[in-house]
């Protein structure tokens, strides 16, 4: 495995997936050659990978924007997608952690969600309070 492949795995990214650094409005992606500034690909980004690894900069937590597609694992362990529209359901999946920017990332988490959905008591004990909290926060 290449060094860059190891890095994207650590930061839960995929090749070509766009992301931003915390506090930066600029979009980037990681290719096999390193980090690329999507708004100005000619910009020198050679030091960003080292800063990321050293913890001097961090990647902004991904949250879909209105109209943006996200991927999730349903209770039947099938992968599905939704377009974010600021609904209780959208916030529920996001708060639960079952909201992924790519189909591959959702697929890679099927085992985690399978175990979660198998445990009926945990599922229902966790879901109802979380749904109520989300309803209170977005209304």
pLDDT at 70: 97
Q: Which long-range contacts link 130-134 to residues 24+ away (Cβ below 8 Å)?
A: 130/92, 130/95, 130/96, 131/88, 131/92, 133/95, 134/88, 134/91, 134/92, 134/95
pLDDT tens-digit readout, 3-39: 778 878 788 788 888 899 999 999 999 888 889 999 9
pLDDT at 137: 65
Spell out the domain ranges in the chain.
Answer: 3-54, 69-138
pLDDT at 126: 65
Cβ-contact 100, 106 below 8 angstroms? yes
What is the Cα gyration radius of the chain? 17
Q: How many CB atoms lie within 10 A of CB 103?
A: 13
Which helix H or strand E contains 138, and what residues bound it? Answer: helix 120-138
- pLDDT-derived band at 123 (thresholds 50, 70, 90) equals low
pLDDT at 68: 95
Tokens of 59: 């990647």
Residue 44: phi, psi to the nearest 5?
A: -75, 115
| Chain CA centroid to CA 68, Å | 12
pLDDT tens-digit readout, 73-109: 998 899 999 999 999 889 989 988 899 999 999 999 9
Tokens of 35: 């980090």
pTM: 0.68
Mean pLDDT of 68-72: 96
Mean pLDDT of 48-61: 89
């Amino acid at each position: 495995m290449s060094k860059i492949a190891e890095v994207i795995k650590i930061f839960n990214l995929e090749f070509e997936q766009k992301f931003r650094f915390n506090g930066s409005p600029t979009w980037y992606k990681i290719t096999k050659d390193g980090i690329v500034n999507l708004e100005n690909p000619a910009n020198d980004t050679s030091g960003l990978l080292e800063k990321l690894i050293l913890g001097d900069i961090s990647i902004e937590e991904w949250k879909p924007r209105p109209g943006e597609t996200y991927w999730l694992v349903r209770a039947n362990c099938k992968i599905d997608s939704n377009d974010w529209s600021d609904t209780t359901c959208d916030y529920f999946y996001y708060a639960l952690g079952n909201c992924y920017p790519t189909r591959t990332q959702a697929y890679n988490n099927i085992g985690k969600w399978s175990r979660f959905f198998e445990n009926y008591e945990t599922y229902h004990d966790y879901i109802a309070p979380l749904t109520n909290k989300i309803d209170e926060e977005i209304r």
